[in-house]
Amino acid sequence: MNRRVAFRMVLRILAGVMIVALFGFVSYRRHESTIRKTEVDIVNKGEFRFVHENDILKLLEEKHVPFKEVSYGELELRRAEEVILEHPAVQAVEAWTTQDGTLHLQVEQRKPVLRVIDLLNDSYYIDEQGGFMPVSEEYTARVPVATGFIADRFHHQNMTLSEIANNDSILAISETDDLFAFIRLINRDALLQALTEQLYVDTNGDVELVTKWGPKTVFLGKSDDAPMKMMKLKLFYTQAIPTVGWEAYESINLTLRNQIICTKKTI
């Protein structure tokens, strides 16, 4: 091996050592640097107001998660995320730091699709994932309300509607799974969403839709064939109603397969 080749090899080794040392120094300095500020970003705060920035900071303080004037090494990002997820209105959270000494907390709120008021006058939300969500004393979401003979108490058992759907014995006594099946389909269609005022569960556990205009009551029954029922309802409103007029019928019954039974208004 000639001197030139050996010299190049030494240079490469020295360069590698310096790079490793530099990264180690930067990592050490970062580890010892101090968090100087915390920024909380509620990503969907324009849509809902269940969670505020101060709520998140207060929760971290109450759970004794250090985040003020602490070094990067003392900061527990995973623990901070776990604590924030304990908030009943939080769907997801991501925590990270930047070189300027900032702790970033990005928080996504849960999205309610229906508010339920049951037989015991207990009120709660069902979110878009089929989870039960408590109401807030500070904020009320503008979503349809379900009332009537709703006896489910599963919202007290930390269950989700997907878990209920996979348990036949529980499913047989549940009303909220039918409500969720209908509201999910309603929210996928702009016309049906604009049409819906309220959902009501009768003594047989059948679901009724109370509308904002047109026939006041739409009898939906159970959520069996729910997509077909919603399709028939939309066809009725887009094709039949413009012909007969908005005030022609008192109610629509969609509980029978392949039929739409209309009851005319009596003068």
Q: Which residues pair with 117 in a beta bridge?
A: 123
Using CA atoms, how far apart are residues 60 and 81, in angstroms rounded to an integer? Answer: 9
Name 63's Cβ contacts closer than 8 Å, sequence gap at least 6. Answer: 83, 86
Name the CATH topology of 112-264: Rossmann fold (3.40.50)
Q: What is the pLDDT of residue 57?
A: 95
Average pLDDT over residues 229-244: 90
- Architecture of the domain defined by 37-109: Roll (3.10)
Higher pLDDT, 50 or 69: 50
250 half-sphere exposure, CB direction, 13 A CA radius = 5
Higher pLDDT, 167 or 236: 236
The secondary structure of residue 134, as a DSSP letter, is E
Start and end residues for every CATH 3.10.20 domain found in the chain: 37-109
| Number of neighbours of residue 84 by Cβ within 10 angstroms | 23
Q: Which of 53-62, 69-78, 203-212, 232-241 has the lowest mean pLDDT?
A: 69-78
Average pLDDT over residues 32-51: 89
Name 258's Cβ contacts closer than 8 Å, sequence gap at least 6. Answer: none
Give the strand order in the sheet containing 132-134: 132-134, 123-127, 112-117, 145-148, 196-201, 207-211, 217-221, 249-253, 261-264
Q: Which residues pair with 210 in a beta bridge?
A: 198, 217
Q: In this structure, are residues 113 and 187 in contact, taking their beta carbons and an 8 Å threshold?
A: yes
Average pLDDT over residues 161-190: 81
Q: In this structure, are residues 115 and 143 in contact, taking their beta carbons and an 8 Å threshold?
A: yes
pLDDT over threshold 70, residue 15? no
Q: What is the pLDDT of residue 117?
A: 96
**pLDDT tens digits for range 17-31:** 455 444 444 444 444
Q: What is the pLDDT of residue 113?
A: 97
Give one DSSP letter per residue of 28-39, joined into a string. HHHHH-B--EEE
Q: What is the pLDDT of residue 75?
A: 87
CA neighbor of 152 nearest in space, from 129, 128, 172: 172
CA neighbor of 230 nearest in space, from 220, 240, 239: 220
pLDDT over threshold 80, residue 160? no
Average pLDDT over residues 170-194: 88
Q: In this structure, are residues 111 and 127 in contact, taking their beta carbons and an 8 Å threshold?
A: yes
Using CA atoms, how far apart are residues 176 and 132, in angstroms rounded to an integer? Answer: 10
- Show the tokens assigned to 233: 């309802």
Q: Which residue has the tokens 């959520």?
A: 223
Start and end residues for every CATH 3.40.50 domain found in the chain: 112-264
**pLDDT tens digits for range 110-157:** 999 999 999 999 999 999 999 999 999 989 999 999 999 998 877 776
